[in-house]
Amino acid sequence: MNQHSTITSSYSGLRSISMLPLARSFVTVVLSTVVLIIVCSIFAPSSVSLGALEGSLPFAAVIAIVGLGQLLVVQQGGFDLSLPGAVSLAVVVSTHYPQQDNSLLPMAVVVALGFALVAGVINGILVSIFNLNAIIATIGVNALLYGAVFAVSGGVPSITTTLLAEIAGGTTFGIPNSVFFAAAALMVVSFMLKKTVMGRRFEAIGANPLAAQAVGLQVRRHQMMAYVLAQLLYCMAGILISGITREPTAFQGDTLLLPSVAVVVLGGTSLLGGRGYPISTVIAAFFLNQLSQFALAVGVPYSAQTIIQALALGFGIGVYSVRWTGNSSKQTKNVKMEDTNDLQVS
Amino acid sequence: MIYKSLKLAAATAVLALGCANAALADVPSWCGPKKATIALLDGYGGNSWRQVTTASGKQTASLCPSITSYEYADGNGDTQKSISDIKGMAAKGVDALVVFGDAGPAMLPAITSVFKAGKVIVPYRVNVGGKEGENYTKFIGSSFKDDGASWGNWIKGVLPKGGNVLFLSGPAGNSQGLDELAGLKSVLGAEYVFVNPEPFAVTNWDPALTQKVLTAEIAKNAKIDVIVSDFGPSLVGALPLFGKSGKSIPALATSDGNSLGCFWTDVNKDNPDFKLFTVATGNDNVRLAVEHAVAAATGGTPPTEQIFKAPSFEDSTKGNVQCRKDLPGAIYLSSELPADEQAKAVK
């Protein structure tokens, strides 16, 4: 009984400490996004027009979903480099298996999810049970997944089914459907991480696996869970891409790996693991996508487009770092206050 | 009875001789009497265009009975692998090599070493630098400038008073896009304004990026009169964006693909401005390269053409857009390879 209450109080303490960094990263990424939108409306108003947003938001939604998956893995101190293979496999399974026959689509989705589960479990076993370096293990699994991509598709693109194009590429109340999928993924991940016992344990383990093991938490199971859930999110993103682009290539996941890590970092999550910021990650996905849309809309040469993106990305991360060091003393004070509040409430 | 049998035998003999003559007559002039083996070396074989091309090359080689084997290697987009593929094939004793040198001049040393070792080697389509007779047997290019000029002439026909042109090509700085632009500009005057960033909007020939680029261009330019793209099928997912902005899809000058033809057939009634013009996407470029390689290896007469010129294929203003809904979207009806065989190749 006594032991139980100690664990509970350390949990509530942990939660309250982590409330503030969430607010800070949230404020930072929202501020950066607002600045970007203001810059867009001055220098490239077309990039924030309704038509442009409707066209680009689906891609932001896809980045947000893969970002959430990467977030879970990064929280456990890992990196998931099997993302390109996972997304591409979901793309080819959901386009090649049905061959434009709507009635086969549900089965294709089930098959894609099956592949995702298997890949997630393999990643999880390699990293959490065999203690392989996450980067090495996931690179290997990525190669396996690409093997499956070639086995399914032969590397050839296939046209998507009309049903999937309608579901993933359509709009409801003028908002692209993929945005709703991203919102749903965000809600599930946020709720699970922040409001369930399992989620709290998950974050505690990410912050310090050794300490977590010492207090009797199932470290391996939670680490494995990160890889499995991440794969399911990649799978969802892949299926959405198949609907958004009418004839996706068999390598559609390749361009998503770097953005997935970038949005996790922009969202304020430490690459060393621990606390994760799902909402900030999703906003960062919008930021990153809007940034590339801005670079396209200003109509400068391709070389300048990439430079603009790099500078703005550096600025986004820079702002975050500056606030981090500048407010450290204030932060400690606030944390203490928050701690007291939390204790009073509980 | 014996007489009857003799008559039958004579008839059979005549028939057999006739067939043999016909078979001899069918042997193309580029196919000489010397036995040889040939290999096609692809830099990157992972899309339907390449698979149709490979099948076309194989079919061309099979027309020559002197060719005893046709081999294929895919570099998987890896320059190192492409180089070792070339050297490996030569070491294996293959007599003639046809090379799609995706990596460009990086392939030249390997090509040169194989040529110096006395093999027939014919790079095609992608310029690898070097000189004929010094680095390789022959280079069979494709006239992208002519494609640009064909598009330009058609645009002049549908938009005689000029207009806003959006030109999309692949990766930044790719020579195909630059050649096509030179062709376009050789025909179109100042009244045709290019609204894309110089020299072309970069799409990497990736349908997702194409969609993003087109979104930005539609938002930025109130009026786009004609889109020019060197990979038509990658636009199929992006063109409906015009409808979402309440505009008609504009005229489109591009290369062909079954999915594009079918898309035009489906939506042209709702999009009055959507006129379509395509040039053949050029799968048959490989045929000319194989013919030259086989001629050099077997002692045949090489074809007189040295550059593949893609013919015009579809023009909606003349009502000849083609669509085969029963076959995959990823085939090219402009290719000489029959559509059903292409469908098998891309499956």
- Summarised one tens digit per residue, pLDDT across range A106-116 is 999 999 999 99
pLDDT 10s digits, A71-86: 999 999 889 999 999 9
Kindly give, in sequence order, each residue whose CB lies less than 8 Å from that of residue A147, ignoring residues fewer than 6 positions away. none
- Within 8 A of A155 by CB-CB distance, chain B residues are 45-47
Terminal C-alpha separation, chain B: 55
- Judge if ipTM > 0.95: no
- The DSSP secondary structure of A232-262, one letter per residue, reads HHHHHHHHHHHHHSSS--TTTTGGGHHHHHH
Strand runs labelled E in B274-332: 276-279, 307-308, 312-315
A55 touches chain B (CB under 8 A): yes
Q: What is the mean pLDDT of residues B305-325?
A: 90
pLDDT tops 90 at residue A120: yes
A245 touches chain B (CB under 8 A): yes
> Helix A105-124 vs helix A219-244: angle between axes, to the nearest 10 degrees?
150
- Within 8 A of B236 by CB-CB distance, chain A residues are 246-247
Domain spans of chain B, in order of start: 36-143+283-311+337-346, 144-280
Alpha-carbon distance A110 to nearest alpha carbon in chain B (angstroms): 22
Identify the pLDDT of residue A344.
35
Ranking A118-132, A329-343, B151-165, B254-268 by mean pLDDT, the lowest is A329-343
Name the band, by pLDDT with cuts 50, 70 and 90, for residue B208. confident
Higher pLDDT: B60 or B101? It is B60
Mean pLDDT of chain A: 83
Please confirm whether the linkage preceding B240 is cis (ω < 30° from 0).
no
Looking at residue B302, the DSSP 8-state letter turns out to be P
Dihedrals phi, psi of B314, to nearest 5 degrees: -120, 150
pLDDT tops 70 at residue B4: no
Highest mean pLDDT among A229-233, A274-278, A297-301, A313-317: A229-233
Mean pLDDT of chain B: 87
Decide if B51 and A292 are in contact by the 8 Å CB cutoff: no
Interstrand relation of B36-42 and A175-176 (parallel, antiparallel or unpaired): unpaired
The DSSP H or E segment spanning B121 is strand B120-123
Looking at residue B336, the DSSP 8-state letter turns out to be S
Name the band, by pLDDT with cuts 50, 70 and 90, for residue B242. confident
- Within 8 A of A237 by CB-CB distance, chain B residues are none
Residues A173 and A114 sit within 8 Å (Cβ to Cβ): no
Ranking A318-332, B45-59, B161-175 by mean pLDDT, the lowest is A318-332
pLDDT tops 80 at residue A299: no
Name the band, by pLDDT with cuts 50, 70 and 90, for residue A1. very low
Identify the pLDDT of residue B187.
93
Identify the pLDDT of residue A332.
45
| CB pairs < 8 Å spanning A and B | 112
Name the band, by pLDDT with cuts 50, 70 and 90, for residue A60. very high
A281 touches chain B (CB under 8 A): no
Identify the pLDDT of residue A186.
96
Residue identified by tokens 């997944």 is A145
Decide if B197 and A47 are in contact by the 8 Å CB cutoff: no
Q: Which CATH class is domain B144-280?
A: alpha beta
Nearest alpha carbon to residue B220 among A38, A295, A299: A299
Query: B276, exposed or middle or buried, with CB in 10 Å at 0-12, 13-18, 19+?
Result: buried
Q: CA B93, B99, B105 angle in degrees (round to 5)?
A: 120
CA distance A50 to A23: 29
B48 touches chain A (CB under 8 A): yes
CA distance A156 to B347: 8
Burial readout A111-123 (b: 16 or more C-beta within 10 A, e: otherwise): bbbebbebbbebb
Instruction: Kindly calculate the radius of gyration of chain B based on its CA atoms and give it in whole angstroms.
Output: 23
Topology of domain B36-143+283-311+337-346, per CATH? Rossmann fold (3.40.50)
Identify the pLDDT of residue A313.
73
Q: What is the mean pLDDT of residues A7-33?
A: 61
Q: How far is CA B325 from CA A188, B62, B261, B333, B343, in A?
A: 41, 29, 10, 12, 12
Q: CA A81, A86, A89 angle in degrees (round to 5)?
A: 145
pLDDT tops 70 at residue A5: no
Topology of domain A20-328, per CATH? ABC transporter involved in vitamin B12 uptake, BtuC (1.10.3470)
Residues B97 and B73 sit within 8 Å (Cβ to Cβ): no
A73 touches chain B (CB under 8 A): no
- Within 8 A of B328 by CB-CB distance, chain A residues are 158-159
Q: What is the mean pLDDT of residues A265-275?
A: 85
Identify the pLDDT of residue A202.
92
Dihedrals phi, psi of B150, to nearest 5 degrees: -60, -45
Nearest alpha carbon to residue B230 among B253, B201, B249, B207: B253
Helix (H, G, I), strand (E, B) or coil at B247: coil
Ranking A46-50, A133-137, A141-145, A335-339 by mean pLDDT, the lowest is A335-339
Identify the pLDDT of residue A316.
66
CA distance A244 to A160: 9
Residues B7 and B67 sit within 8 Å (Cβ to Cβ): no
> Helix A219-244 vs helix A162-169: angle between axes, to the nearest 10 degrees?
110
Whether B144-280 and B36-143+283-311+337-346 are alike in CATH topology: the answer is yes
B330 touches chain A (CB under 8 A): yes
Helix (H, G, I), strand (E, B) or coil at A157: coil
Q: What is the mean pLDDT of residues A33-49?
A: 89
Q: What is the mean pLDDT of residues B27-33?
A: 92
Decide if A52 and B216 are in contact by the 8 Å CB cutoff: yes
A105 touches chain B (CB under 8 A): no
pLDDT 10s digits, B327-341: 888 889 999 999 888
pLDDT tops 90 at residue B246: no
pLDDT tops 60 at residue A306: yes
Residues B298 and B61 sit within 8 Å (Cβ to Cβ): no
Nearest alpha carbon to residue A110 among A124, A121, A98, A99: A98
CA distance B170 to B189: 24
pLDDT tops 70 at residue A318: yes
Alpha-carbon distance A49 to nearest alpha carbon in chain B (angstroms): 7
Residues A201 and A212 sit within 8 Å (Cβ to Cβ): yes
Q: How far is CA A203 from CA A14, A72, A113, A276, A343, in A?
A: 10, 9, 25, 7, 20
**In A103-176, which residue ranges form alpha helices assigned H by DSSP?**
105-124, 134-153, 162-169
**In A196-301, which residue ranges form alpha helices assigned H by DSSP?**
197-207, 209-214, 219-244, 257-266, 278-297
Identify the pLDDT of residue B209.
86
Residues B235 and B229 sit within 8 Å (Cβ to Cβ): yes
pLDDT tops 80 at residue A233: yes
Terminal C-alpha separation, chain A: 18
Dihedrals phi, psi of B155, to nearest 5 degrees: -60, -40
Kindly give, in sequence order, each residue whose CB lies less than 8 Å from that of residue B343, ignoring residues fewer than 6 positions away. B327, B328, B331
Q: What is the mean pLDDT of residues B161-180?
A: 89
Ranking A73-77, A325-329, B33-37, B307-311 by mean pLDDT, the lowest is A325-329
Helix (H, G, I), strand (E, B) or coil at A137: helix
Identify the pLDDT of residue A16.
47
Name the band, by pLDDT with cuts 50, 70 and 90, for residue A320. low
